Chain A
Amino acid sequence: MTDRSEQLLEQVLAAKAAGQPLRIVGGNSKAFLGRQADAETQDLNVGEHRGIVDYNPVELVLTARAGTPLREIEAALAEHGQALHFEPPHFGDSDTLGGTLAANLSGPARPWSGSVRDQVLGIRLINGNGEHLRFGGQVMKNVAGYDVSRLQAGALGTLGVMTEISLKVMPRPAASLTLVREMSAQQAIQQMNARAAEPKPLTAACWQGGRMYLRLAGAQSAVEATAAKWGGEVLEQADGFWRSLQDQQLDYFKGEAPLWRFSVRANAALAPLPGAWLLDWAGAQRWYRGDAEQPQLEQLAREAGGQVSLFRGGDRSGEVMHHQPQALAGLQTRMKQAFDPHGLFNPGRLYSWL
């Protein structure tokens, strides 16, 4: 439990005075994410600004300092039978809440339980003028002012330093069970979407290595009745499987080959590429490993109604995020100006031009 917000604020003010760009570090477990920036930066360590500030299980709301490790938060929630329903991936032991929101990373449950962005209720943020501001709050519904909290999701720290985050949390499901079936990727896309359109307690759907996995979770009776109706082999140690998918520990994710992430229309046809796929989110998130040129992948992603980014590995000196149309690039540049007029935070991390 350490409140380092004063020091963080001083560091930002000093950087502003010196014109010294900063690299915001939670603890660097996601250092692989984003571009390799060329600017000379100084590290601003948020990882030491940690601790749960407020947690009231009956309110379903938790507030923690941005450097708080996810594990600490998850342990506190588990004591009350609650959880982070967006199932954040852990890339190390010390992934922080701030880094997770900045990268907008969510796990297998995302299509059903929402993303980390969906659960955010409010933040405190140090902007590039060295002002410590508060947006949103600790209540479920709040439409006063622009939604600056959710704007941070995916911004990779380019708009400011988050110091505190309030989240909606939810009860853990009473029971869960996973069904497995062999099929092709294309069949799985059809099947996963068809199952998702049924009013059943589906909470995860992925395809990997020729098998489709469906996770049912909720009231015991509902889970059992649905499993009986749908049929398929029941997976032993299913929690372990989903955990390794969530944390990218499956064999599929190992090795140095570039890892591409497609975020597309859930039922889009599988793109004709030679490499290996892993489909998550009932087909809305697709991982790809294999030879490919970025322009070709971007074209395929557009045809599938979405975008592609170079998640890990590969050439990180070019753009790693999907190229932005000019109008959107303009808006994001102006947004950067609005929050960080001196260009202090994470220069070049998200896009070369930001």
Chain B
Amino acid sequence: MSDQPRVSQAQLAAELRAFIDPDYVITDNETMKPYECDGMSMYCEMPLLVVLPETVAQVQQVMQVCHRYQVPVVARGAGTGLSAGAMPHADGVVLSLAKFNRILEIDPLARTARLQPGVRNQAISEAAAQYGLYYGPDPSSQIACTIGGNVAENSGGVHCLKYGLTVHNVLSVELITVEGERVTLGSDGLDVCGMDLLALATGSEGLLGIVTEVQVRLLPVPERARVVLAGFDSVQKAGDAVGGIIAHGIIPGGLEMMDSHAIIAADDFAGAGYPREAKALLLCEVDGTEEEVEEHIEQAETLFRELGATSVRTSRSEQERALLWKGRKSAFPAVGRISPDYYCMDGTIPRSQLAFVLTEMERLSQEYDLRVANVFHAGDGNLHPLILFDANVPGEFERTEAFGSRILQLCVEVGGCITGEHGVGVEKIRQMAIQFNDLELAQFHAVKAAFDPPGILNPGKGVPTLRFCQEYRSLEHKCQQHAVEADHD
């Protein structure tokens, strides 16, 4: 890509308005302002323009025009992303999928739903409820975030250990390629022939194509779900209890942990009646048939007590269950109340390393003089340290970023990774080099070039560029040559 934009804002807007409702091609700064960032508001940029197509054919045409002028394209769902993945490119177009908000079909017998990409995550389960079905992955942002964004980030939720991530619950995706071609990855069946491009596209952060339709699997709503709340006087004991439950052969529907800072913030916010003196709290949800839940709840309560829980409380009604979860699900806004700003990290670690990592984090917290609260998808080892800071204090965000970077490095050192579900985006692009070496990054670039030879889909995100990588350059050249040949056959 050259540094100079090849087309002016006015010319591009005129070309797009030839086939898109002129009101949906936005060029004035005031209307574009809300698009300047996603949920990671520390990273902002104003785009060249914002376009809101209404049909798949229009998305294809937008891509064709942008491809012709080599204009960067940043897809956008609800903008709840937490890694600045949807942050605009200064010379590029923001392609919002907001108009694609229809549920196209629910097949209750096959247990599938066909969705436009702008359908909100929670709307799927709401629509499926009449058939006794629901959509498994439930990110805490589920009221707002879109299924297209979920696919792009391979989002998780509190029920991943048992029901999987987005990648486990999607059957097919319609993708518009950088050239504006329409391809379907996956099928109505469970597996397709050949390499798994559907898995590759899932979690690709808008770097490989624009998702214009998603077919998901639906699950039967469990007959019963109950949650056990267990308080512990040390993080170590709570961590061991997580292992204990799993070693016992119980796979909870959800298994979440909070540290003392998070417990107090969440309890103040939600009034959930959490044990405020506890150093760590576990929320263990067991779901299934009536009989299974009774059997497993009893075992879980006993186990927690044996493993040193200082308090154990089990939900007796749906209301109580919702209340106990409310604290956890509102942990981010709750922490937002006790600090002017917070920065949410997303590392994953082997569960056995939990106590070590939390202790180390406490030490770093003192070193950087910044408070940190922890919420943790304990079942699958996904940590969300929330670093509390004040953006108005000069230098504090920079210190926060440095602290965050150390946490991610720590995650990699103990055998984990820099992001479990929020994606790399712009925010974690430097840490990619901690987790991957140059050859691995070059392989990622080769994958990118295979889908997007000119590199205009969400450029500058996901994978850091390699300055000195000859192999990559020659590879990219070959792929480009090949793409040209493919265009001609």
* A contacts, CB < 8 Å to B: 56-61, 81, 104, 106, 110-111, 114-115, 117-118, 127, 129, 131, 133-135, 137-148, 150-155, 158-159, 170-172, 174, 190, 193-194, 196-201, 218-222, 224-226, 262-268, 281, 284-285, 304-307, 309, 321-322, 324-325, 327-328, 330-335, 337-339, 341, 350-351
Contact = CB atoms under 8 A, between A and B. Distances in A.
Nearest to B350: A59
A327 to B, nearest CB: 4
Given A140-B382, A144-B424, A201-B292, A335 B447 contact: yes
A152 B196 contact: yes
Interface string B344-355: 000011111000
A306 B188 contact: yes
Contacts of B379: 140
B443 A338 contact: yes
B443 to A, nearest CB: 6
A153 B199 contact: yes
A144 B435 CA distance: 8
Nearest to B439: A131
B110 A218 contact: no
B132 A199 contact: yes
Contact of B190 (A171, A174, A281, A339): A281
B447 A148 contact: yes
Interface string B384-421: 00000000000000000000000000000001111111
Contacts of B200: 146-148, 150-151
Given A58-B247, A60-B246, A337-B479, A307 B187 contact: yes
Interface of B: 107-112, 131-133, 153-154, 156, 160-161, 164-165, 167-168, 177, 181-185, 187-197, 199-200, 202-204, 208, 220-223, 243, 246-247, 249-251, 288-292, 294-296, 348-352, 377, 379-382, 415-424, 428, 432, 435-436, 439-440, 443-444, 446-451, 462-463, 471, 475, 478-479, 482-483, 486
A226 B289 CA distance: 9
Contacts of A338: 443, 446-447, 449-450, 475, 479
Given A144-B424, A338-B450, A115 B190 contact: yes
Given A139-B420, A334-B451, A222 B288 contact: yes
10 contacts: A111-B190, A117-B199, A133-B439, A141-B160, A148-B443, A171-B246, A196-B220, A265-B188, A285-B191, A327-B177
A350 B289 contact: no
Given A143-B419, A154-B191, A219 B352 contact: no
B189 A139 contact: no
B396 to A, nearest CB: 27
B251 A57 contact: no
A170 B418 CA distance: 25
Contacts of B450: 331, 334-335, 337-338
